[in-house]
Amino acid sequence: MLKEYELGTIYKGKLETGDDLLEKLTEIVKEKEITAGKVIALGAVKEAIISFYDQDKQEYEAEKLDESLEIVSLTGNISLKDGAPIIHAHIALGDEDGQLYGGHLEKGTTVFACEFIIEEYEGEAFTRGLDQQTGLPLWVK
C-alpha cells in the first residue's frame, strides 16, 4: 500500500509544562484538520507511559516511567481512525545516565518542555482498521 503526497503547511510550536503529550498533539492535529502527515518532537517529560506490543498475546503491555526523562526522539504519523485524525507515535526517552527507554507513546505522558514540528501532507489519508493477522489497527485503505 503506497500513497503519494505533496507537502502542505508545516507547523512548529511548543507545548506547556503539564500538558499530556499525546493528547495535546492530537488536539492540535484535530484543530487544524490534518488527516495525513508527520509529527516529530523533542524536549523532556516529567513522567511517561509507553507500551510494547506483545505479538503472541496480541495486546499492548503498558509501562509507567515515573521520573524526569529527555525526549530524545518522538516520531509519529497522522492518519484517520473512525473518521477522526489519530497520531501513532513512538518515543525514545533518556535518563540522567543516557540510558534509553522506548516504545509506543501512550496518553498519560506529562510534558516538562516540548518543541514539535507537524508536517501536513496533501492527498488521500490512510484509514486505520483492524488487521486480522497482527491484531493491530493498521492502515487498511
The residues that touch Zn ion, with contacts defined as CB under 5 A, are 104
Minimum CB separation of residue 28 from Zn ion in Å reads: 20
Minimum CB separation of residue 137 from Zn ion in Å reads: 10
CA–CA separation, 48 vs 107, rounded Å?
A: 8
Neighbouring C-beta atoms of residue 23, cutoff 10 Å: 13
In this complex, which beta carbon is closest to Zn ion, that of residue 30 or of residue 104? 104
In this complex, which beta carbon is closest to Zn ion, that of residue 9 or of residue 52? 52
CA–CA separation, 60 vs 89, rounded Å?
A: 14
Neighbouring C-beta atoms of residue 104, cutoff 10 Å: 16
In this complex, which beta carbon is closest to Zn ion, that of residue 89 or of residue 114? 89
Minimum CB separation of residue 111 from Zn ion in Å reads: 19
C-alpha cell at 130: 483492524
